[in-house]
Amino acid sequence: MTSTTAAPTLDLTLDAVALTAALVDIESVSLREQPIADAVEAALRALPHLDVVRRGNTVVARTDLGRGERVVIAGHLDTVPVNDNLPSRLEGDLLHGLGSCDMKGGDAVILRLAATVTEPVRDVTYVLYDAEEIQAEHNGLRLLAQSDPDLLAADFAILMEPSNGGVEAGCQGTLRVEVRTTGERAHSARSWRGDNAIHKAGEILRRLEAYTPRRPVIDGLEYHEGLNAVFVSGGVAGNVIPDECVVTVNHRFAPDRSEDEALAFVREFFAGYDIRLTDTSPGALPGLDRPAAQAFVAAVGGEVNPKFGWTDVARFSALGIPAVNFGPGDPMLAHKQEEHVPIAQILRCEDQLRTWLTTPGVGGGAA
């Protein structure tokens, strides 16, 4: 006997909190997003004011009203693996469940806006994409930027990553390098016949201890760079003088520097040492001087902070689109078993974005 399970559906007439619960209840661990992408696509295709395109398990819905500006509002559909935290449950003023914070509360806000804001004062591109929680090669936003960059063209973007309902502008870039010292092996009983590579790493650590972080101000926001040893590896055996030591260093750099500029700084900082780049990702400029960004900040009416971590806003920056992080939920709860989101934050984020999308004025919005 063959059993069948009905494909999940989404009712966009639900309020944002109920819609968040519905999204949470559709399991969507990375690389298994097809059911939720199917439900999102079907719900959006039922809206006549939107043009809908699907690429893999990424769904894009766009207004085409000829407004003076276009903005992107984006969120990822995938979650980390299930950890005995499904289905969703509402307890008091908190909605619990896998992905409730990271970031199905934000996705619900996107879907509610897409369904109910039919005449925005600025054209909107809504993007719900897959595979954000795993290796970058799978990331739906990255793949969309490669295959259909025109679908992401915009003046400003909002990534609805959890930010406690506050605005975190841009993001810092990150790179990792291996700083290597070499020596000569010898028996530790005759150490003078060798050359201890671990001892040579002391100068690397002293340079790091003396490092003074650069703190540039960009669009009125002070970013705080970092340069830190995160791993030290070396040694052969308990009675052998080591001939190699590797200090892995992570550099978090402000978005006014490119990856090449940041790497050049690190190479100069460790002049005289063998340096090998192992990982790099660009930062993202906040773009708060853009009219759409100024109107957004005015609509949310809150303090704007720089984003010190790295998020997918950097993918927008690579396309020349300034971006901010803005979404319900505490990012410190992301990926935790007790993940939850305050329902008040979901509703407030929806209300603030709705105000921004429907109020004429700053930023070329329709009068």
Mark 89-118 as b/e (b = at least 16 C-beta within 10 Å). eeeeeebbbbbbbbbbbbbbbbbbbbbebe
Cβ burial of 351 (10 Å; 0-12, 13-18, 19+) is: middle
Burial class (CB in 10 A: 0-12, 13-18, 19+), 27: middle
Q: What share of the chain is helix, strand, coil (3-state, %, to 5)?
A: 30, 25, 40
Decide: 88 and 25 in contact? Cβ < 8 Å.
Answer: yes
Copy the structure tokens of residue 353: 């974005």
Chain centre to alpha carbon of residue 24: 19
DSSP characters over 308-327: -S--THHHHHHTT--EEE--
> For the packed helices 105-116 and 34-45, what is the interaxial angle rounded to 10 degrees?
20
C-alpha span between 62 and 319 (Å, rounded): 18
Active site residue 132: yes
Instruction: List CB contacts of 103: < 8 A, sequence separation 6 or more.
Output: 75, 76, 160, 161, 162, 327, 329, 334
Distance CA 93, CA 42 (A): 30
Task: Write down the catalytic residue from 38, 69, 78, 168.
Answer: 78
Kindly name the residue from 132, 133, 155, 225 that is annotated as catalytic.
132
Does the active-site annotation cover 51?
Answer: no
- DSSP SS3 for 339: coil
CB 125 within 8 A of CB 71: yes
The residues annotated with a catalytic role in the active site are 78, 132
